[in-house]
Amino acid sequence: MDNVFLGILVFGLGMAFTVAPLTTAVMGSVNDRFSGAASGVNNALTCIANVFANAILGALAVLIFSGALQDGIKNIKLVNKQKQAIEQQAVNLGNAKAPDSFEGKDKEAIENAYKDSFIAAYGTIMRISAGLGFIGR
């Protein structure tokens, strides 16, 4: 859980250090007469950027999670139908649950694979976000 908290902390600090100065720069660069329009454009672009970022990074997170999950379950003896049932949970990311047909050590191994895959996906997305933030500054 410490990996998640650190990522959120860094992300929050980055937002705190960039959003207010960016808004100040946008609003300060226009004539007072156009401040309403500038504010509207700034807010609209922020919303559009958030939607695209969530869609793109969300899709990447599912792909990364799926790849890590495949690596995590490769040492468990599974038939194709069982493997598909496990991989279908990838869209749930952190809420992925082992199918009810598994018990004991296999179920525990699958749940650990889900957890490790989520941490891998989350960490990669945070590194991509940090890189984009650094490039965009």
* Average pLDDT for runs of 10 along the chain of length 137: 71 78 82 86 85 90 90 82 82 80 82 90 88 76
pTM score, whole prediction: 0.68
Q: Residues 79-113: pLDDT tens digits?
A: 788 888 888 888 888 778 888 777 888 788 888 88
Report the distance separating Cα 114 and Cα 98, nearest Å. Answer: 8
Total domains, the chain: 1
The conformational region for residue 79 under phi > 0 = left, psi -120 to 50 = alpha, else beta, is beta
Report the distance separating Cα 34 and Cα 45, nearest Å. Answer: 16
Both tokens assigned to 40 = 């509207």
The dihedral over CA atoms of 65, 68, 70, 71, expressed in degrees to the nearest 10, equals -170
Report the distance separating Cα 123 and Cα 3, nearest Å. Answer: 8
- Per the structure, the complete domain to which residue 42 belongs is given by 2-136
